[in-house]
Chains A and B, each alone.
Chain A
């Protein structure tokens, strides 16, 4: 190819080219640019704004995991928050004795083991029935934590890290420090995700999702594939939970309830199931929606006009957030089932082929 930077189509001629992590140089350049932008972004933001970014990036890691289980393997999971919780509690218990670069993978591996076990019903049941099995795990997790004195019965377990390689971490730089750690972990996880899914295991996931009996007939092992999908998805969740524990300085069970699992699933759907870009766009969209709805709800609650036209006993402001969440998910499922990723794809395609339409 004479000029790889001007590449406008797919010129792959071999299997090796077909399985490259990056499609072309322009993709590499755009990712580098994005990373540079993300690295300098906190310089222009307040601490509390960086906190919002931290939440988005942590949820992005959890959604990446959900995209392996649900997006790629087609196994509906409503227990991702519980996997986050397993990671968070592992980190909380290990943090007093171990450094964070050990506790984080430890949280991930613990969640992966639990994920493997939770995935066992997937060998026998599918679709809604499997979703119910993961729902049961979600509820069992909250129940067990609530009755475990070792886990403070769901009340806070402090997770503090005051020093990293001589750098004092305190109120002033806490959010910034964890932003860069989370970003680094996210990049690693995305790379691992793409690396994993470009190979035979990634294709096996798709094959099992589309038709597990056909996949079986072609020599794949659907059972093992499903279990590993659950374990991998849970690993991502566990790491995300561990990061959340450090970032919030404490672990409380309320962070890992069914509501959070549903929110993560909503992020995956809105972002676009089975895509990296969707795993980033979904959490960002939902978190910003939450922020704007919060403002709108506060305004509605304080507006005399809104209060005067609302029937007594009807709390519209309270209903706004769940209503907007539900509406967004339904609208996406009806009008854009491929999620925000598809808008991103169309936009990118427009600029790539400009000035031509195709």
Chain B
């Protein structure tokens, strides 16, 4: 009898362990506070994909415990939330957010060997030192800007370009690379201006850039300030004289909502598929938004797609880690799974465009950018439509490490 009870207990515990193993995934970002227009849908995307992963049992015998925390865009909060997670329920992977906080956390992330996918695509995150465990889901801001310069060069040689960037490390990240790219392409950077939120009148800015002879403005910013500049350019009639374009967080449905018809003609570099495309990822996005009662703004937001992509990469890495390491899912095995996500093992969730080689998401130990393909899209009739095929900026690779 006693023996039977022991056996029953062991069997019960074994069953419980097999069924109830939980793996933690942490995201902290600006759900409220500055840039919450990006952070809100991004966090929702992660939340929804995690629910879906649990419902579909994407990782067999594992329950995914996704913690979505609001750091209010404050670096000390991000640090506290990350360390709290390390103390209480060590995540197998960390999905980060802002440039400043991620740059600040780099040494700690490297020390605790935590594979991290930030929402920020600042190239400094994957540059040494302390860069081993940082992975960008999509191409960096710098690559997006250089790609836009290459696009300009297709039709207009020796173009005069002005850069308008956010007054922060997030904005300034692209300036050096853009200068080097301009030199190689024979273009000239006529001015670099820093513009943040609250830029209610940009007359002086636009007149100055016009006087400097700029025929193109490339933005590295969030949608709000760009929308104000676009509206002012339309008011001043400069929209016909100066072509405006920007990196990933400048565009999307947010820009169209904020700028209205002033956004027409705006060029946008993005690695993500649009909502009009029929891909597995976008179809899933529509399906989940409907299932979890998300509003139209969330569904239409590229940041919702971006959040889903980050979560999808994390879940896939965990699934592969479990498969490869006999069910062991922790930061070390997930890191191994991530750097093995290449070649025939590349990941194809259908949220981002593929390169010419047909690769959507791949990582290696030294190539820490996931979706390397990107397209240039143009705002036409109230939505963004692709005007190029997916491409990878060859020039960026030359100017990154000259």
Hey, which bits of chain A sit against chain B, CB under 8 A? Answer: 46-48, 51-52, 55, 146, 152-156, 158, 160, 170-171, 175, 248-250, 252-255, 290, 294, 297-298, 301, 315, 317-318, 320-321
* Beyond known contacts A154-B169, A155-B172: 13 more, CB 8 A cutoff: A48-B80, A48-B84, A51-B79, A156-B100, A248-B75, A249-B104, A250-B107, A254-B169, A255-B76, A297-B72, A301-B31, A315-B32, A318-B36
Majority SS of interface residues in chain B? helix
11 example contacts (A-B, Cβ-Cβ < 8 A) are as follows A47-B86, A47-B87, A146-B168, A154-B168, A155-B100, A155-B124, A155-B172, A156-B124, A248-B75, A254-B75, A294-B77
Closest to B169 in A: A155
Closest to A146 in B: B167
The 7 closest A-B pairs by CB, nearest first: A156-B103, A155-B169, A318-B32, A48-B84, A48-B83, A254-B100, A249-B107
| Chain A: minimal CB distance from B307 (Å) | 15
Q: Is the CB of A52 within 8 A of B108?
A: no
Q: Is the CB of A252 within 8 A of B169?
A: yes
| Chain A: minimal CB distance from B360 (Å) | 29
A112 to B222, CA, bound (A): 37
A171 to B90, CA, bound (A): 13
Closest to B98 in A: A254
Cβ of B194 within 8 Å of any chain A Cβ, yes or no, is yes
Residues of A within 8 A of B72 (CB): 294, 297, 321
Majority SS of interface residues in chain A? helix
Q: Is the CB of A48 within 8 A of B87?
A: yes
Residue among A154, A155, A175 having the largest count of chain B Cβ atoms under 10 Å: A155
Cβ of B130 within 8 Å of any chain A Cβ, yes or no, is yes
Q: Is the CB of A320 within 8 A of B32?
A: yes
Q: Is the CB of A250 within 8 A of B106?
A: yes
Residues of A within 8 A of B32 (CB): 297, 301, 315, 317-318, 320-321
Q: Is the CB of A250 within 8 A of B194?
A: no
Closest to B111 in A: A171
Q: Is the CB of A52 within 8 A of B80?
A: yes
Q: Is the CB of B130 within 8 A of A158?
A: yes
Residues of B within 8 A of A158 (CB): 106-107, 129-130
Cβ of B2 within 8 Å of any chain A Cβ, yes or no, is no
Q: Which of B62-90 contact A (CB under 8 A)?
A: 69-70, 72, 75-77, 79-80, 83-84, 86-88
Residues of A within 8 A of B99 (CB): 155
Q: Is the CB of A298 within 8 A of B169?
A: no
Cβ of B112 within 8 Å of any chain A Cβ, yes or no, is yes
| Chain A: minimal CB distance from B82 (Å) | 8
Residues of B within 8 A of A254 (CB): 75, 100, 168-169
Cβ of B33 within 8 Å of any chain A Cβ, yes or no, is yes
Size bin of chain B's contact surface: 35 or more
Closest to A159 in B: B107
Q: B70, B100, B168: which contacts A294 (Cβ < 8 A)?
A: B70
Residues of A within 8 A of B33 (CB): 318, 321
Q: Is the CB of B172 within 8 A of A252?
A: no
| Chain B: minimal CB distance from A93 (Å) | 16
Residues of A within 8 A of B84 (CB): 46, 48
Q: Which of B104-157 contact A (CB under 8 A)?
A: 104, 106-108, 111-112, 122, 124, 129-130
Residues of B within 8 A of A320 (CB): 32
Residues of A within 8 A of B79 (CB): 51, 248
Residue among A175, A254, A297, A298 having the largest count of chain B Cβ atoms under 10 Å: A254
Residues of B within 8 A of A171 (CB): 86, 108, 111-112
| Chain A: minimal CB distance from B363 (Å) | 23
A298 to B70, CA, bound (A): 6
Closest to A156 in B: B103
Residue among A290, A318, A321 having the largest count of chain B Cβ atoms under 10 Å: A318
Residues of A within 8 A of B80 (CB): 48, 51-52
Q: Is the CB of B31 within 8 A of A252?
A: no
A79 to B293, CA, bound (A): 46
A321 to B79, CA, bound (A): 18
| Chain B: minimal CB distance from A4 (Å) | 43
* A51-B124 contact given A146-B172, A156-B103, A156-B106, CB 8 Å threshold: no
A297 to B69, CA, bound (A): 10
| Chain A: minimal CB distance from B225 (Å) | 16
Closest to A298 in B: B70
Q: Which of B161-185 contact A (CB under 8 A)?
A: 167-169, 172-173
Residues of A within 8 A of B76 (CB): 55, 248, 255
Q: B70, B103, B172: which contacts A250 (Cβ < 8 A)?
A: B103
Residues of A within 8 A of B31 (CB): 298, 301, 317
| Chain A: minimal CB distance from B223 (Å) | 15
Residues of A within 8 A of B194 (CB): 146
| Chain B: minimal CB distance from A296 (Å) | 11
Q: Is the CB of B100 within 8 A of A170?
A: no
Q: Is the CB of B88 within 8 A of A46?
A: yes
| Chain B: minimal CB distance from A142 (Å) | 8
| Chain A: minimal CB distance from B170 (Å) | 9
Q: Is the CB of B75 within 8 A of A155?
A: no
| Chain A: minimal CB distance from B73 (Å) | 9
Q: Is the CB of B111 within 8 A of A248?
A: no
| Chain A: minimal CB distance from B155 (Å) | 32
| Chain A: minimal CB distance from B364 (Å) | 25
A156 to B99, CA, bound (A): 9
A290 to B70, CA, bound (A): 12
Residues of A within 8 A of B173 (CB): 155
A318 to B40, CA, bound (A): 11
